[in-house]
Amino acid sequence: MILTFDSVILHYLNDLANGSAYWYGVAFFSAEYLFILVFLLPVIVFYLDHNLRHRFIEERVYILALLSVVVATAIGFILSVFIYRARPPLRYSDIHLILAHLPDTSSFPSAHSWITSSFATVFVIRKEFRDLGWALLFLSIVIAISRVMVGAHYPTDVIAGLILGISSAILVVYGVQPLSRWLFVSRNQGKANNPNDN
């Protein structure tokens, strides 16, 4: 059933991109360059909005976002080692690659999906940056779809990547951050109780 789902959606999206100059251009641009906008958009927003920039620095959101990407990448790399999957053009002769070259890494899961979604989800979780986060997550989904359109991934590759990225962000924000705060508070309390250390 999964193979059928992958095949049907993959062929539909790839045919759509190859059958129209417009969708070909959209798919190529989104798959190759939209990735950059996900990381550039917060910089632009915080440059234009002083108050939001101050909260961004104060809350150390950039550290959480980057840590989320690191966690997702570590898990994704392990999964790709143990679950190798050949890229669509290597399996289906009628799938046309709309990229300069075909990556030689495992198709599963999609790195573009886990990197962008893990980064974006941290902003979604933090209430102050939620609007920006939803915009970033939307771009992440567009990138995921485009990666299928260009023939670089199967649908389940990008779905798994999105789930991995979102889960990693949740783990970091609700797991790692409280732990780091507890360690920070404990350390400061220890120093306060031992003034002679200074």
| pLDDT tens per residue across span 150-197 | 999 999 999 999 999 999 999 998 887 665 555 444 444 444 455 555
> In terms of Cα–Cα distance, which of 72, 43, 54, 67 is closest to 173?
67
Residue 198 covered by a domain:
no
Weakest-pLDDT range from 14-23, 55-64, 92-101, 111-120: 55-64
| 94-121 tens-digit pLDDT | 999 998 777 788 899 999 999 999 999 9
Residue at 193 is within a domain? no
Evaluate whether residue 197 is within a structural domain: no
The residue-averaged pLDDT of 139-160 equals 96
pLDDT greater than 70 at residue 71 = yes
Domain for residue 66, yes or no?
Answer: yes
Q: How many angstroms separate the Cα of 147 from the Cα of each of 17, 99, 155, 171, 172?
A: 11, 10, 9, 26, 26
Chain position carrying tokens 């917060």: 42
- 29: its two tokens: 């641009």
What mean pLDDT, rounded, does the chain reach? 86
Residue 151 in 3-state DSSP?
Answer: coil
Question: What range does the domain containing 77 cover?
Answer: 2-188
Instruction: List Cβ neighbours of 67 (8 Å cut-off, separation of 6 or more).
Output: 172, 176
Is 196 within the bounds of a domain?
no
In a domain, 78, yes or no: yes
Residue 195 lies in a domain: no
The per-residue pLDDT for 186 is: 43
pTM for this structure? 0.85
In a domain, 150, yes or no: yes
- The whole-number pLDDT of residue 179 equals 58
Q: How many domains are there within the chain? A: 1
